[in-house]
């Protein structure tokens, strides 16, 4: 059964969603991140993906106080990304209550640091961020395109010991127009042991069902929940 992972993206302490990763195309939602996390838990969800968008833009962890609140008030397993550039950033996230951390930009710009994190904390706690646009890896809160292609990038990190990755098609994120089924199918066939977490473009339950049929291990859902395209009650059958 596919693992359902709701997302909370934070700017200025508020739940937001970006369109295609554009900070100028952001939608703010009234729900407090903590209140939203509690709603997710009340519906039986076990894990939460938190993105510190302020941190991603500024290059350091910013919203750790909110991470602390969510960790203290819920039993959700938190994975956190955004702004993780140093071992100090990583420690802040873990000390704030996160169980896992996602390294995306660091894997491109400072792979030695990413390798040291894997060595120190293990692949169970360190997730590779492999966000892409036109099959090229993007970094720094999706504001920069790197020179690394998606599939070779994944291959290199699987060889280094990565066992799980969050893979977001930035060109689809926030559009509610469907997911990159072909790309995810290519990834899961090439790396069958990789815990692939698909992200970006989920428009409704049908998209989740398609991913489940392809044996994709997990999916992150954000805007479809906030915009009412998916009712949290509907997700309970996947649990």
Which structure tokens are listed for 220? 């992150």
Phi-psi region of 36 (alpha: psi -120 to 50; beta: other; left: phi over 0): alpha
pLDDT mean over 156-179: 90
1-5, 52-56, 97-101, 203-207: range with lowest mean pLDDT = 52-56
Q: 18-32, 42-56, 63-77: lowest mean pLDDT where?
A: 18-32
Its pTM stands at: 0.93
- Does 131 qualify as catalytic in the annotation? yes
- Residue pair 46/78 in contact (Cβ under 8 Å)? The answer is no
Nearest Cα residue to 214 out of 178, 195, 177, 189: 189
Evaluate whether 164 touches 49 at the Cβ level (below 8 Å).
Answer: no
CA distance 118 to 140: 20
* Percent of the chain whose pLDDT exceeds 90: 77
Instruction: Say whether pLDDT at 141 is over 80.
Output: no
The burial class, CB within 10 Å (0-12 / 13-18 / 19+), for 86 is: middle
Cα 68 to chain center, whole Å? 18
| Domain membership of residue 184 as a residue range | 3-238
pLDDT at 13: 86
φ, ψ (nearest 5 deg) of residue 48: -140, 130
Q: How many domains does the chain have?
A: 1
Strands (E), the chain: 3-11, 14-19, 22-28, 47-52, 77-81, 100-103, 126-129, 132-133, 136-139, 144-149, 164-168, 195-199, 218-221
Where residue 15 sits, what CATH number does that domain have? 3.20.20.70
Helices (H), 43-167: 53-58, 64-73, 87-95, 105-109, 111-121, 150-159
Annotated catalytic residue 9? yes
Mean residue pLDDT of the chain comes to: 93
Residue linked to tokens 């930009």: 105
Of 9, 79, 89, 207, the active-site residue reads 9
Tens-place pLDDT, residues 76-114:
999 999 989 999 999 999 999 999 999 998 999 999 999
Q: Exactly one of 52, 131, 173, 207 is catalytic; which is it? A: 131
Q: What is the pLDDT of residues 191-230, one digit of tens each?
A: 999 999 999 999 999 999 999 999 999 999 999 999 999 9
CA pair distance 156, 37, nearest whole angstrom:
34
């Amino acid at each position: 059964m596919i693992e359902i992972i709701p997302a909370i993206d934070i700017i200025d302490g508020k739940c937001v969603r970006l369109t295609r990763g554009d900070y100028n195309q952001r939608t703010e939602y009234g729900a407090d991140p903590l209140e939203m996390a509690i709603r997710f838990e009340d519906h039986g969800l076990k894990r939460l993906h938190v993105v510190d968008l302020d941190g991603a833009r500024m290059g350091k962890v910013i919203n750790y106080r909110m991470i602390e609140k969510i960790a203290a008030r819920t039993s959700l397993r938190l994975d956190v990304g955004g702004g993780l550039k140093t071992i100090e950033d990583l420690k802040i996230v873990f000390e704030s209550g996160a169980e896992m951390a996602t390294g995306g930009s660091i894997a491109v710009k400072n792979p030695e640091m990413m390798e040291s994190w894997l060595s120190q904390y293990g692949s169970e706690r360190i997730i590779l961020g492999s966000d892409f646009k036109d099959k090229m890896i993007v970094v720094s809160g999706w504001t920069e395109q790197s020179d690394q292609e998606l599939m070779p990038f994944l291959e290199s990190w699987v060889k280094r010991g990565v066992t799980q990755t969050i893979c977001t098609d930035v060109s689809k994120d926030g559009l509610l127009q469907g997911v990159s089924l072909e790309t995810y199918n290519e990834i899961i066939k090439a790396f069958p042991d990789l815990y692939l977490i698909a992200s970006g473009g989920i428009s409704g339950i049908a998209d989740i069902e398609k991913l489940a049929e392809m044996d994709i291990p997990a999916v992150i859902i954000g805007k479809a929940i906030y915009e009412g395209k998916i009712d949290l009650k509907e997700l309970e059958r996947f649990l």
